[in-house]
Amino acid sequence: MKFGVVVIPGCYCDHDCYYAIEKVTGKPVEFIWHEQTSVDGFDAIILPGGFAHGDYLRTGALAKFSPVMKAIRAFANMGGLVFGICNGFQILTEAGFLPGALMRNVGMKYVCKYLHLRTENAETPFTNTLSQGQLLYIPIGHGDGNYYADDETLMRIEGNGQVVFRYVDAQGQATPEANPNGSLNNIAGIVNEQGNVLGMMPHPDRSFEAILGSADGKLIFESMVNALVTK
């Protein structure tokens, strides 16, 4: 199996993702330049964090015009695993892979800190090594992580298990105080209906080995390997 990490001008977490995947999974991983028109040979594609195209116009707005996105869309339609982290999540919503949108943090400040996530759906290719309700300790670093979707969309994604991670306190409660950015329902990460595309604002690529402060992030990458092995 082969992992791909997309390289878009302005994104800087590509090397973190590459290193995380290499260290955690030991599987082959390659960079994918955003002007490539083919993603043949890859089984999982990561859209890393950063500021793609300088966040011009809106965060993640212009990346959908990068030539590689057409191939990634076809890849996702065929069931390939696509994982957007932070800016990658913003790109996935702007490009229509995932519902809703990420807006400016409600406090109008960039927030950078460790926090707790609760696993709401442990049956996705990204969470199959986790248990329902399991807490993860993962850092965030973003100014535009405020997840919004209209009422009908919100009800739908809550109802059919598309909400994968929620911001919670250390006791696992999704309180307003545990919400760093104003996201509706404390939503931190969601999948598409098919379940093969995940977007999350927190950074497992910054929390995959203990020396970083938490190794909980590695569980997500390990789940992906698990899913690909059993495919």
Partner 1 sequence: MGLTDVTDVRQGKIFHLQLKDGKKEQVETLAKEVLTNPVIEEYRIIWE
In this chain, which of 85, 149, 154, 178 binds partner 1, going by CB under 8 A? Answer: 149
CB 61 → partner 1: shortest distance, Å? 7
Q: Which is nearer to partner 1, 99 or 125 (CB)?
A: 99
In whole angstroms, the minimum distance from the beta carbon of 231 to partner 1 comes to 32
Q: Please identify, using beta-carbon distances, which residue of 61 and 135 lies nearer to partner 1.
A: 61
From the CB of 65, what's the least distance to partner 1, in Å? 8
Q: How many residues bind partner 1 (CB under 8 A)?
A: 12
Of positions 100, 180, 195, 199, contacts partner 1 by CB under 8 A: 100
Residue 25 or 146 with smaller CB distance to partner 1 = 146
**Which CB, 1 or 101, lies closer to partner 1?**
101
Largest CA distance in the chain: 46
Asked if 150 interacts with partner 1 (CB under 8 A), we say: yes
The answer to whether 81 and 45 are in contact (CB under 8 A) is: yes
Of residues 101-130, those binding partner 1 (CB under 8 A): 101, 103
Q: Report the sign of the C-alpha dihedral through residues 214, 146, 61, 98, in that order.
A: positive
Per-residue x/- mask for partner 1, residues 68 to 97, rule CB under 8 A?
Answer: -------------------------xx---
Strand duo 3-7 + 81-85: pairing = unpaired
Residue closer to partner 1 by CB (options 80, 88) is: 88
Instruction: Reduce the DSSP state of residue 185 to 3 states and report it.
Output: helix
143 or 172: CB nearest partner 1: 143
Q: What is the residue whose two structure tokens read 């950074």?
A: 203
Reference 136, options 118, 161, 122; nearest CA is 118
Q: How far is CA 229 from the centre of its chain?
A: 21
Contacts to partner 1 from residues 30-69, by CB under 8 A = 57-58, 61
Burial 100-134 (b: 16+ CB within 10 A, else e): bbbbbbeeeeeeeeebbbbbbbbebbbbbbbeeeb
Q: Residue 184 CB, nearest distance to partner 1 (Å)?
A: 12
Q: How far apart are CA 26 and CA 40, in angstroms?
A: 20
**69 backbone dihedrals φ, ψ, rounded to 5°:** -65, -30
- The binding site for partner 1 (CB under 8 A) comprises 57-58, 61, 93-94, 99-101, 103, 148-150
